[in-house]
Amino acid sequence: MKIVIGSDHAGFELKAHLAAFLIEQKIEVADLGAPGEIFVDYPDIASAVAEKVSRKEFERGILICGSGVGMSIVANRFPGVRAALCNDLYAARMSREHNDANILVLGGRVTGKDLAREILKVWLESTFQGGHHQRRLEKIESLDEKIRHCRKK
């Protein structure tokens, strides 16, 4: 598995920690920034990661900003992206099992390193359950087409 990861300055330290964890797990990581704790605008990083997932260049992505909220808002504007802000293990598992989330979003200022690593581990190990959840995903995907149609008007 290959994962694309990105953060703003507020998420840089947690991003570095999680990238190292992924590499330990023999998972290939593509880091799209921020390169350090220099100030960057989270929409730039979120859109770069979400675009890669939307285009299916990567199966999954990880985004980290101060709270996780800004990254979530930006990422979910991209077709086919299901970014989930997860602050606990239950949300991480459900985001995969019920929503087939393909981008994990974390808050670098609200989630400790150990908990973030556990959230990531659960998110990676959980699989989409399908069934009636698939029908719901299809409805979400149909909204992508509806939104594209509205934007053309």
- Nearest Cα to 14, choosing from 82, 75, 62? 62
List the catalytic residue out of 9, 17, 65, 150: 65
150 an active-site residue?
no
| 116 φ/ψ angles, rounded to the nearest 5 degrees | -60, -40
Could you tell me the end-to-end alpha-carbon distance of the chain, in angstroms, rounded to an integer? 39
149 an active-site residue?
no
Which structural domain, as residue segments, surrounds residue 20? 2-152
Residue 34, preceding peptide bond in cis (omega within 30° of 0): yes
Domain CATH for 30:
3.40.1400.10
Entry pTM: 0.94
pLDDT, one tens digit per residue, over 38-60 is 899 999 999 999 999 999 999 99
List the catalytic residue out of 9, 86, 98, 133: 98
pLDDT, one tens digit per residue, over 101-138 is 999 999 999 999 999 999 999 999 999 988 889 999 88
Total domain count for the chain?
1
